[in-house]
Amino acid sequence: MAVGIGFICYYRLRLLPVASGKLERWPWIGLFHCELWFRFYWFLTVICRWNPVYRFPHKNRLSLRYEKELPDVDIFVCTADPSAEPPSMVMNTVLSVMAYDYPPEKLNIYLSDDGASELTFYAMLEASSFSKQWLPFCKKFIVESRSPEAYFRAAVEPDSHHPLTLKHWLLVKVFVSFLT
């Protein structure tokens, strides 16, 4: 809207009639002043009505309110070559997807291994046993970086004031170091 008003102003100033008689200029100048007044009036009304609204979703409230209405989600993780895509990377991807904050009964994860690698199969067997430790750990300590490798690469060891927390953290870290 403001760009259009600016173009009209440019048009009026650029094509101001330069005739020998001043009689032809006065309607043009009068129209230009009326448009200036309406530009000023439009600007004031926009400023007075300006009321930005900032909305922030609360994840906890949404999941409590709409959990029964959430659709089923199918996630496909594809891999083909264990030398190009290390099984530890595929395992971290699958574990991070399993740790999504989404109802588990509505989340389906499929692994497509086009190379039919035995190494990837063995890594997924290990990941399934590790998931029994990792998924409760993510929920209990509200882990945001849900990939085990990324989490322990950036994580700082917890305080020794909470021996149970430290014990659980070290147990999961040992599992991750064993798997990678």
* Alpha-carbon span 134 to 146, nearest angstrom: 9
Could you tell me if 84 and 129 lie in one domain? Answer: yes
The tokens for 53 are: 């609204």
Whether pLDDT at 162 is above 70? no
Could you tell me if 11 and 90 lie in one domain? Answer: no
According to the annotation, is 67 in a ligand binding site?
no
According to the annotation, is 74 in a ligand binding site?
no
Could you tell me if 36 and 82 lie in one domain? Answer: no
Whether pLDDT at 19 is above 80? no
Question: Between these two residues, 66 and 19, which has the higher pLDDT value?
Answer: 66
Whether pLDDT at 163 is above 80? no
Q: What is the pTM of this model?
A: 0.58
Could you tell me if 6 and 90 lie in one domain? Answer: no
Could you tell me if 37 and 97 lie in one domain? Answer: no
Question: pLDDT band for position 154 (50/70/90)?
Answer: confident
Could you tell me if 144 and 95 lie in one domain? Answer: yes
Whether pLDDT at 166 is above 80? no
**Domain count of the fold of the chain:** 2
Q: Give residue for tokens 């439009």.
A: 42
Question: pLDDT band for position 97 (50/70/90)?
Answer: very high
* Alpha-carbon span 90 to 121, nearest angstrom: 10
Residue 75: what pLDDT? Answer: 94
Question: pLDDT band for position 179 (50/70/90)?
Answer: low
Residue 96: domain span: 72-179
Question: Between these two residues, 58 and 124, which has the higher pLDDT value?
Answer: 124
Q: Are 17 and 30 in contact (CB under 8 A)?
A: no
Cα–Cα distances (Å) from 32 to 46, 111, 175, in that order, read 21, 69, 77
Could you tell me if 34 and 88 lie in one domain? Answer: no
Tell me whether residue 64 is in a domain.
no
